[in-house]
Every structure is written in C-alpha cells, then in structure tokens.
Amino acid sequence: MTTGTGAQTTVLLTGFEPFGGQTINPSWSAVQEVRRTWAGSEDIRVLELPVDFASVDRVLTDALETFRPDVVICVGQAGGASALRLERVAINVDDARIPDNQGRQPVDEPIVPGGPAAYFSTLPIKAAVAELGRLGLPAVVSQTAGTYTCNHVFYRLMHEIGRSGRDVRGGFVHVPFAPDQAVGTESPSMAIDAMARGVAAVLATTLSTSVDARIGGGSLH
C-alpha cells in the first residue's frame, strides 16, 4: 500500500518494557514478531516504550517526528485479559494504581493540562474485531484503556496526531499475559505468535478499511 502521494506507507508499532515485577512484556515481543513476519510492502518500524510517565512522552514524540508514520498502533499488556482488547477511548488523566518503573505514581493528574477530556481511536476497531473473529482469535472492543501508562501513551499519541495536522491513523491494542507469565496463576494467557497475528490483522484491516464497520460493540457496564 502507498500513501496518496505515492510514497511508501510507514507504520509505527510500539510495545512496552516489562513492569510490575514482570521479566517480559508481551506487547514488545508481539510487535517485534509482526515486523519479522510482515509480508506487505509497508515500512514497519517498532519502538519499545518505557513504563515511565516522565520520559515516555519524549520517546513517543521523537519517534513520530523521526518516522512520520501514516499508521500508529500502540500495544500494551493487560494482565488478566482473555482477549485482544481494541481500545475505543483515551482519557486525559493519569491515576496510577502502582508506581511506574521510576517509582512515580501520579494521582488524578491531567496528561495534557487544558487538553480535551478524551480522544477516540481512528483505527477501524469494529472491522478489526470482526476480522480477528474470522481468524479464530478472541478480541473485543474495550471502552477504556485504564489510567496507567497505556492510556497515557494512547492519549498522547492522539493528541500529537491532532496537533500535527497530518492524516495519520492511530490507536491502542491491549494483549493478555504470555503463557510464561501466567504459570502458577489463574490468569488467562495467549501465545506471542497469536498476539502477533492479531496485531498484524488489526494493521491489515486498517490499511484496507477507510470507514469502520457499523457492528455492535458496546458494553452494559
């Protein structure tokens, strides 16, 4: 796929470093696997983000300025989730239940002071969930990305896209624990290769879908 100017489409996929006492973060493993296995003509760039409220903005914005991507899919870990969670809304608040990797624990702080209360994903999340179902991968539309660094990055991404004035599609996907992380617990898990196939399917759907499908994907609570 190429952009409207005929240039090669650039895709930025981000994952996170481990946090919360974990030794791996499956989001980073999954996006690296997508880059390794992607067969399309798109230029796939990947970036590992720090779980650090103070430095992650600079790391993300530097990458956006350097790569000037046409599509950005940020991926994070949602321990306890049983499906791929395609996030609908990013909200303008940091409220950390646990400290980040530098010991910071903001409570009820705006991500962008004076910024909009929320941003919506511009990925075709419902079409992507439908495609994931056809592939036999569990996936749902999620109404909240939480209030930790995943939501922080999602909000900051959409804010920077809006400020840039460029036609960039962006959003956030949460993945479950990897099997090794769930050993000895009751938490569900998903193989890294399945996560990667899921993220790749979200990307492929984004590249081929200009208007999202009108499919029920709401929740009662």
The span from the CA of 72 to the CA of 74, in Å, is 6
| pLDDT given at position 219 | 85
The span from the CA of 187 to the CA of 174, in Å, is 15
| pLDDT given at position 4 | 45
Catalytic residue among 33, 42, 131, 150: 150
| 83: Cα separation from own chain's centroid | 14
**Torsional sign, CA 127, 135, 170, 6:** negative
- The three-point CA angle 210-216-218 to 5° equals 110
Closest CA to 128 of 214, 205, 219, 183: 205
pLDDT along the chain (221 residues), means of 10: 66 98 97 97 98 98 98 97 98 98 98 98 98 98 97 98 96 97 94 98 97 90 75
C-beta separation of 66 from 82 below 8 A: no
Active-site residue flag, 87: yes
| pLDDT given at position 165 | 93
Give me the residue spans of the domains in the chain: 10-189+197-208
Catalytic residue among 33, 87, 131, 160: 87
Closest CA to 180 of 25, 19, 17, 48: 25
The span from the CA of 25 to the CA of 46, in Å, is 14
Query: What CATH number labels 10-189+197-208?
Result: 3.40.630.20
Q: Could you read off the pLDDT of 133-145 as tens digits, one per residue? A: 999 999 999 999 9
- The three-point CA angle 93-187-170 to 5° equals 40
Active-site residue flag, 150: yes
